[in-house]
Structure 1
Amino acid sequence: MRRNWAARLRLGTIDGLRAATLENERLRVTVLPGKGGDVVEFLHKPTDTDFVWLSPQGLRDPREHLQGAADDVAQFVDHYEGGWQEIFPSGGAPSEYRGARLAQHGEVSGLPWECEVLADSPEEVAVRLSVRTRRLPYRIEKVFRLREGTAALEVEARVTNEADLRLHAMWGQHIVYGLPFLRPGARIRLPEGVTVIPHESAINPPTRRVHPGGPWEWPVVPAAGGGEIDLSVVPERGAPSDIVYMTGFTEGWYEISGDIGLRVEWDATVLPYLWMWQELGASTGYPWWGRAYTIGLEPFSSMPTDGLASAVANGTALVLEPHETKVLKFGAEVIA
């Protein structure tokens, strides 16, 4: 029975793409089974705060590429509406793995997913999304769950190797933040003991810098464009674009907050890295044209952003034995 109170679920379309909205008294979350299972809304209703960054180019249907040739970067970038994406089985730049050419950020973020309703009651709503990759023999399932009265989204994801062979993968959660939630001076908090690896050090012999003790006493690390970055504070518009990697998580979590905040938790035994990238208006060419003000805090299985072949070479790629299933539990909760 349809409800406009307690936990409730709506299935429909947005710009021609299948959508599912999970909602309760405090939170409204919209995901797109029609496009990668992307999260395109994470709205805290009491404060009218949406934690999802939306790209200036808006939502675009990736099926339009079927009508013409698409290069390995355009498949993701030209249809990137912001939001939060599932990244699998490769992360970052295009890569080749055992004869399979994998595009920017892999396959699943541009594929249509199946959607099944698992729960629809005043106490909780839940949907299960599923998809098979086309170039590698994997199946992914992802359950989104929202309970009555909470401001927390629960997610359980599974990836299964359907081959009789041992295979590799990169698995990540492409979570980005932007205006109006993200503002200069907002704070980022991590567990103690986290190791920070600048991008160049992830490619060359690593120079690691350890987050010492207090939650705000982060190291200052070199920026790719020159200068340095204090990782705990969101910079002003125009700061250099950059990416760093973090590992050493005994517990997988971070908090990002200004007037209101969000805490993201995940199983760090499955995703032991956190990618942090920032695009704050300094890039004036394709694809940003100076219009982006966003920071990504992305739990990942591997590093760097050079694709699956590099992760296999450096030993950070996820390994799935024949017919093995790996399970990842994670969640996001508003800190009011």
Structure 2
Amino acid sequence: MTSSVRLHGDHLSVEVRPGKGADITSVTERTSGIDVLWRTPWGRRDLAGAPVTGDSQTDWLARYGGGWQQLVPNAGAERTVDGVRRGYHGEAAVVAWRVESANEAEVRLATDLITAPLSLTRSLRLDGPALHVRDTVHNTSREPVPVMWVQHPGFGAPFIDEHCTITAAARTVLTDAEQPGTVLPPDVRAAFPLAPTVDGDVLDLRQCPGPDSGRAVFACLTDFRTGSFALESPSAGFGIRVEWDASVLPHAWLWQECHASSGFPWYRRAYVVAIEPANVLPGDPSPACPTRGQAPLLPAGTSWTSDITLSITDLR
């Protein structure tokens, strides 16, 4: 199994790990040498050395090196579907993928899941300042299957800092019902980008929190006009724009962890901002949102396809 596949273009360099979930482990802007993706404090571990505890959340996190994962067929806490346990954040991000073709500018990978009757493909292609990612989920069975599908890119320093700004084509922000973080109340809807705080103030979610802010946020952006968000980093001298089909992934999970959370796994060591296109709202049904956690059904013998483009925008 190939340990890494590297793509190179004039504007971007990209690394992918077929042996671990087809993770996109780095997206580097070549002029600055800055990787826009976050890396965990323990980095990209050899899976053979990762602990196996039997707790799917602990085991998934032990294998999580940062970067960009694809969460299928589950996202969030483990749950039982059709009598089978689907582990925390799903199977697709931890299993090995096959490299079906690769060259300097493009790679195609595939895998078949066990916890759900799904066949997955992932294609990455560099085109100038853009990375195009096409993911397909195919139901190989003769019956409909509930499938959660979340793209899971996390962005980190030095690209992210307190000067970085967020724009998104969402109209609504929905705070998490169980773990909204340190500043937002649980299970509240608001008009994005402004959200009420637990102190009665208003938080502008367009401004990235700095590494010393001690902030944690978990929420979901929804009601997108078009599937898109942008991060602009004056410190790095460039930004990124991410675009996707909101009819396939109508939501985007918002996760900010700024040296806020004590204990495993972060021990106040994580500084990451993540915006994650998704086909499902996070969590379980709540008073403010009874549709949380309801996975759409993928009909028998059919496929979903997600096209996402990450492009560099020059601020110099």
Fold shared, TM-score > 0.5 on shorter chain: yes
CA contact (8 A) 1:151 1:333 kept: yes
Match of 2:114 in 1: 134
1:202–1:304 CA contact under 8 A, matched in 2 = no
- 1:194 is matched with 171
Residues 1:37 and 2:18 are matched in the alignment: no
Alignment deviations for residues 185-228 of structure 1 (CA, whole Å, 9 cap, x no partner): 3100012x5111111299999642223xxxxxx213336x9975
Q: Distance in 1 between matches of 2:186 and 2:213?
A: 30
SS in structure 1 of the partner of residue 224 of structure 2: coil
* Residue 146 of structure 1: how far off its partner (Å): 1.1
What is the aligned partner in structure 2 of residue 248 from structure 1? 223
Residues 105-138 of structure 1 deviation map (CA, whole Å, 9 limit, x = unaligned): 01010000001226x47xxx22111111111110
**Deviation of 1:68 (Å):** 4.9
Report the CA distance between 1:100 and its aligned residue: 1.1
Give yes or no for contact 1:62–1:75 (8 Å, CA) kept in 2. no
Separation (CA, whole Å) in 1 of partners of 2:179 and 2:280: 11
Q: Unmatched 5+ residue regions in structure 2?
A: none
**Contact kept in structure 1, 2:11 and 2:129, CA below 8 Å:** yes
Matched, 1:93 2:60: no
Number of aligned residues: 303
Distance in 1 (CA, whole Å) between partners of 2:32 and 2:167 is 22
Shift of 1:267: 0.8
Per-residue CA deviations over 1:277-324 (Å, capped at 9, x if unaligned) read 1110011211001111111110011011459xxx99647412111111
Equivalent of 2:160 in 155, 177, 182 = 182
Q: 2: distance between equivalents of 1:155 and 1:106?
A: 20
Which sections of structure 1, spanning at least 5 residues, go unmatched? Answer: 1-11, 212-217
Q: What is the rounded CA distance, in whole Å, between the counterparts of 2:54 and 2:188 in structure 1?
A: 37
More helix by share: 1
**How far apart are the structure 2 equivalents of 1:282 and 1:78?**
19
Moved more, 312-321 or 231-240: 312-321
Contact 1:177 1:296 in 2 (8 A): yes
Deviation at 1:182, TM superposition (A): 0.5
Query: Corresponding residue for 1:233?
Result: 207
Distance in structure 2 (CA, Å) of the matches to 1:90 and 1:275: 14
Cα distance in 2 for residues equivalent to 1:209 and 1:326: 30
Alpha-carbon shift at residue 63 of structure 1 (Å): 4.4
2:274 and 2:157 mapped to 1: Cα distance?
13
The 1:57/1:235 distance shift into structure 2, 3 A limit, reads: same
Contact persistence 2:176–2:186 (CA under 8 A): no
Q: Contact 1:171/1:318 (CA < 8 Å) preserved in 2? A: no
Query: If the length of structure 2 is used for normalisation, what is the TM-score?
Result: 0.88
Q: 2:241, 2:313 within 8 Å by CA — same for their partners in 1?
A: yes
Equivalent residues in 2 for 1:281-296, closer than 5 Å:
281-296=259-274
Q: Match of 2:214, as an amino acid?
A: A
Residues 75, 148 of structure 2: 8 Å contact kept: yes
Give the Cα–Cα distance (whole angstroms) in 1 for the partners of residues 49 and 269 of structure 2.
24
Q: 1:151 aligns with which of 129, 148, 159?
A: 129
Partner of 2:247: 269
Q: 1:269 is aligned with what amino acid?
A: S
Compute the TM-score of the two structures, normalised by the length of structure 1. Answer: 0.83
Q: In structure 1, give the amino acid aligned to 2:61.
A: V
What percent of counterpart residues are identical?
Answer: 30
Measured in 2, the distance between the counterparts of 1:161 and 1:140 equals 9
Structure 1 vs Structure 2 CA RMSD: 2.6
Aligned ranges for residues 210-221 of structure 1 at < 5 Å? 210-211=191-192, 218-221=193-196
